[in-house]
Copies of this chain bind each other. A is one copy, B any other.
């Protein structure tokens, strides 16, 4: 353990590790571990979908809608059925959207600002606060910031957000929502426990409090060892708070990022309000892309098989990073992390005050990490300790090299820190 070493021992170690660092630097690396996007092999898995629909296809939906023409504001019948099964929520609670679940969230919050979520329009309130489990997803925080929502950090535990704190904070009537990735969470990889979901569903809140449940990685397992997540919509209904849950998901990382299909599931009341908006905001989503997806998969079983192929490609990448961390960092007590069963990230906590230094050291040696602070509201990590690792896009070889360098940088930054104590 580094913390047990004397100043002189640390200095000696520092000199050794500096040599390793300089060696990396001389290699003029140019590697990127910052991008949470699928790699080329993953994209290849779905290329067949581009042949599913062609000029010979009939393109009449199950309920008789011509997918080539106007009509159908909330999605094709077969695509709604598809998502109803995939998310295990009733058909009537599903709206199929365009290509982006982020947009469905943004537009929902925009709607709350103009029309309210069930009470007064949020835009007419002095202050709107959201709970943000941290570390969390930078794009969620960006949405909140765009609308001027005051974000309140809630620490993530291995069971999800610290519910004792959540239950206390929601007593404040200005707290109108929480936004989170409940399964294979971005970035920690944690899945919310049954107890967490039940408490989120049942806790006392303002009547127009909403949980934006971004189930982005619901089927993105890394192995046959699947986490399971309770259905928030059902739990909220059972707890007498049916309108609390706004769930979204998408096929962006199932087929093609940017050209997938997004979905929203919510209570009848919420669906009604959202459809009211949609019927003004659009003449309808891209139905050809919906039928392209449902025909390509032809059932939920095939989606799960498809996701297994994704796992075969990306699991080895996660292994590279986790093995290196276990070998290089664990013995020295200078970092902690979760070993996720799914999702797209590994969340590395280094010693407090060291994340920016690690980032800079990596950058100077040619490895790009996610910007420090990105996993916290307003880009401010109060402990300067969290680093989000995105292992899916680089090749295994690149990742091995980048992770080795990262470990060297963590060691160096840790020693510098410990020498100052």
Contacts and interface: CB of A to CB of B under 8 A. Distances in A.
A69 B258 contact: yes
B99 A69 contact: no
Interface in A38-54: 38, 40, 43, 46-51, 53-54
A259 B67 CA distance: 9
A209 interface: no
Contact of A281 (B50, B107, B114, B287): B107
B68 A43 contact: yes
A54 B51 contact: yes
A142 B106 contact: no
Bin chain A's interface residue count: 35 or more
A391 interface: no
Interface string A381-411: 0000000000000000000000000000000
A27 interface: no
Interface string A186-217: 00000000000000000000000000000000
Nearest to A123: B123
Nearest to A257: B70
Given A110-B110, A258-B70, A283-B100, A50 B55 contact: yes
B283 A286 contact: no
Contacts of A26: none
Contact of A103 (B35, B46, B114, B282): B282
A57 B53 contact: no
A275 to B, nearest CB: 13
A418 interface: no
Nearest to A39: B69
A107 B280 CA distance: 11
A279 B48 CA distance: 30
Contacts of A139: 280, 283
A234 B238 CA distance: 58
Given A103-B282, A106-B280, A282-B102, A288 B256 contact: yes
A37 interface: yes
B289 A256 contact: no
A143 interface: yes
A284 interface: yes
Given A103-B282, A113-B114, A145-B280, 5 more contacts: A40-B66, A48-B55, A50-B54, A68-B258, A98-B99
| Shortest beta-carbon contacts, A-B, top 3 | A47-B55, A70-B257, A106-B281
18 contacts: A43-B68, A43-B69, A46-B68, A49-B55, A50-B55, A50-B288, A68-B256, A98-B286, A100-B283, A103-B281, A106-B281, A139-B283, A143-B280, A145-B280, A258-B283, A258-B285, A259-B288, A286-B286
